Structure 1
Amino acid sequence: MWAATLLGMRVLLCPDKFAGTLAAPEVAAAVADGWRAVADGDDLLIRPLADGGPGFLDVLADALDVRRVPVPTVDPLGRPAPGEILLTRDATAYLESAQACGLHLLGPDERDPKATTSYGLGLLVAAAVEHGARTVVIGLGGSATNDGGAGMLTALGVTPLDEAGLALPYGGAALAAVAALDGAPRLRDARLVAATDVDNPLLGLHGASNVFGPQKGADRADVLLLDAALERFVAVLERDLPGCPPSLGALPGGGAAGGLGAAILALGGRCESGIGLVTRAIGLDTALDGADLVITGEGSFDHQSLRGKVVAGVAGAARDRGVPCVVLAGQVSTGRREAAAAGVTDAYSLVEHFGGEAGGGLAEALARPADGLRELGARLARQWSR
């Protein structure tokens, strides 16, 4: 894993994506280019990371012996979209919900969690089952939906009905009229695993609608409507879906990806740490054991970063080994004391690097993130390299 080196540093580069600009491998490559321009004799180990959100499959595909299978699906508004599943020799399939439900698939004026559907994810799950998967691991994150997984369930053979026995329209708002379920899940006994580091429940003040709905286009009235609709949907699931656990609306992780976590739990699945799954797959612990410096990062290093996100996991593991950890981000709003307690030695912002908010730094950070990361990589090499 690590090359033999006498004098050079061993630098582990393990960033997350910069959402909306660069994928995690692109972030790592840019920082590495900058570092090597200054200190080419150092040993750089590149291990891009992801939790369950966008980029989950790309990271796993690089780390695991898998077969990539293209699967046509639909986006949150039902339009055709490309998707894929990863298949291993031990009959495990990996999926990424963002390929079908991702917020990035919609324009700003199309974001409406009252109408968006998770049906496309159900098509991906069904394809995995048809390819013989016995375990289906679904990365959850970055979703545009708030339908409690109703669309996914419909694609798998479980259709929500209204009082008249008619199938409901897609979207979270329609669940306000749900009265029953029709059909049974076509899973062929495959086990479902939700890969997520969101521990929010489905319902209530800390639930999917209240916490994540506004990010997807919901105003306050929408949030109240969606939470009430999901509460009604939960009651129907608990009553009509065999094996659905009690108190589904309060279970940790149920609020992930607009309630997809709850739908997976209702189908007898379980939640697992997405970042934990990825770090095991890429051998991050072994890489950390040999590192002299760790560089990680994400688009926005803020208070949410320290709650189960990639940066928090990496920084904490580095701290436990006594290894310094530097965070690179598009924007940094976490306080130094809070960051230090989480294991972060220092944090650098592209916005500040490009002159700060007043100097047009935000526009530059969005327009030239790779250039900025190369420059920060070179700066870090001058500061840290032996």
Structure 2
Amino acid sequence: MRIVIAPDKFAGTLTALEAAEAVAEGWRSVDPAAECTLLPLSDGGPGFVEVLHTALGGTLVPAEVTGPLGEPVAARFLLVDRTAYVESAQACGLHRVPPDRRDPGATSTHGVGELIARAVDHGARTVVVGMGGSSTNDGGAGMLAALGAAPAGTLRGGGAALADLDAPVDLAAARERVRGVRLVAATDVDNPLLGEHGASAVFGPQKGADAEQVRFLDAALARFAEAADPDGRLRRVPGSGAAGGLGYGLLLLGGTVESGVSLVLDAVGLDELAASADVVVTGEGSFDSQSLRGKLPHGVARTAARHGVPCLVLAGRVAVDGAEAAAAGVTAAHSLVESAGSVQAAVERSGPELRALAARVASDWKR
């Protein structure tokens, strides 16, 4: 039996590679002859560069950049020919901020701009920025400041500082810095910059903002947008609200928004692998309604379905019913929490529990 194992990370517990290895070990414990192809995935968030390096090769270029709270952090980007892949979470990810210091009004995307600048200096003519897992809500202002936009002091000060803007944002130097470079925001988030579906309202609470701060940050982003893009067109583009508005910052530089899932699935060759598989297994931390709106498991399931191949989901938790899952191309979805008996067990013993769940699924699948 040929099995393609293509999970996303299980946020906070397992990387995509660790999850793939656990599933393979569990499956082989029941079916030692199974041919398991491990294909760890990322939709643009944490793990993006690692996944693409495994699939594409290329050179990993180390770079010390400014972290979300102004501290130096170690990051790296992937250079393949003249295309650079940048993982924004390496510079401004939520995992970079201790829980007791999480404040989306204070964190900055400055380090993302530094990574883009380093990539351009290394000869990149296309820079693909993977979005997701950010701690920021600054509309990409910090990124723009790192590339030369003014007033730099205000722009790099975090989302709250944008409320103090009292003059137009000068983007000339930043646009010149990336002149001739194709910029791509890789994300499957379709939120605009502002409003009830915007960056502050939807993602701010995940980063530590309460209801009052959400309103303040949305107003600060609106002030920034008036200063940077007076005609208002770009702030309404789907995906401009990705990564706390980092998508908007890239749009201001002439960038485009593209599907991170499609980019990664094409890069790793899932279509060809699924065509010759007997079953495809995917997974993530929480398989819920958002998963069915273009996230990785949905993309994997659709690819498998095109070839008439069953797709199984092994997830930390499953919050969609069978009919919804089937409509998305999922043959069956299995919950790690239910298998382990509790959330605590699923979190504390995620690797062993995922191996055990995979073994049970494999045993049922062989019958």
TM-score clears 0.5: yes
Change (3 A) 1:99 1:168: closer
Q: 1:373 is aligned with what amino acid?
A: L
Q: 8 Å contact 1:261–1:271 — kept in the other structure?
A: yes
Q: 1:346 aligns with which of 322, 326, 332?
A: 332
Deviations 1:159-213 (A, max 9, x none): 237xxxx745611111112122245112242111111111111111111111111
Shift of 1:385: 3.0
SS of the residue 1:253 aligns to:
coil
Deviations 1:294-338 (A, max 9, x none): 110001111111111001111122223222111111111112221
TM-score using structure 1 length: 0.91
Change (3 A) 1:150 1:169: closer
Q: Within the alignment, does 1:205 sit opposite 2:192 as a pair? A: no
SS of the residue 1:11 aligns to:
strand
Q: 1:100 aligns with which of 91, 97, 100?
A: 91
Which residue of structure 1 lines up, in the alignment, with residue 253 of structure 2? 267
Shift of 1:282: 0.7
Unaligned 5+ segments in structure 1 are 1-8, 240-244, 356-360
SS of the residue 1:94 aligns to:
strand
Change (3 A) 1:169 1:324: closer
**Which whole-Å CA distance do the structure 2 matches of 1:223 and 1:246 have between them?**
21
Q: Within the alignment, does 1:170 sit opposite 2:161 as a pair? A: no
Q: 8 Å contact 2:154–2:164 — kept in the other structure?
A: no
Deviations 1:225-278 (A, max 9, x none): 111111111111124xxxxx8511111110000000011111001011111111
Which residue of structure 2 lines up, in the alignment, with residue 32 of structure 1? 24
SS of the residue 1:180 aligns to:
coil
Change (3 A) 1:302 1:251: same
**Which whole-Å CA distance do the structure 2 matches of 1:375 and 1:321 have between them?**
28
Which residue of structure 2 lines up, in the alignment, with residue 3 of structure 1? none
Q: 1:64 aligns with which of 22, 45, 56?
A: 56
**Which whole-Å CA distance do the structure 1 matches of 2:302 and 2:262 have between them?**
13
**Which whole-Å CA distance do the structure 2 matches of 1:93 and 1:151 have between them?**
20
Q: CA RMSD in A?
A: 1.4
Which residue of structure 2 lines up, in the alignment, with residue 253 of structure 1? 239
Say how many residue pairs are matched.
363
Change (3 A) 1:384 1:168: closer
Q: 2:139 aligns with which of 134, 145, 148?
A: 148
Q: 1:181 is aligned with what amino acid?
A: V
Q: 8 Å contact 1:71–1:84 — kept in the other structure?
A: yes
Q: 1:270 is aligned with what amino acid?
A: T
Q: 2:6 is aligned with what amino acid?
A: C
Shift of 1:110: 1.1
| Counterparts of residues 1-386 of structure 1 (less than 5 Å) | 9-89=1-81, 91-160=82-151, 167=154, 170-178=157-165, 179-182=167-170, 184-185=173-174, 186-239=177-230, 246-355=232-341, 361-385=342-366
SS of the residue 2:257 aligns to:
strand
Change (3 A) 1:322 1:160: same
SS of the residue 1:85 aligns to:
strand
Q: 8 Å contact 2:141–2:155 — kept in the other structure?
A: no
Q: 2:15 is aligned with what amino acid?
A: A
Select the structure that is richer in helix.
Answer: 2
SS of the residue 2:359 aligns to:
helix
Q: 8 Å contact 2:113–2:146 — kept in the other structure?
A: yes
What's the % identity of the aligned pairs?
58
**Which whole-Å CA distance do the structure 2 matches of 1:341 and 1:290 have between them?**
23
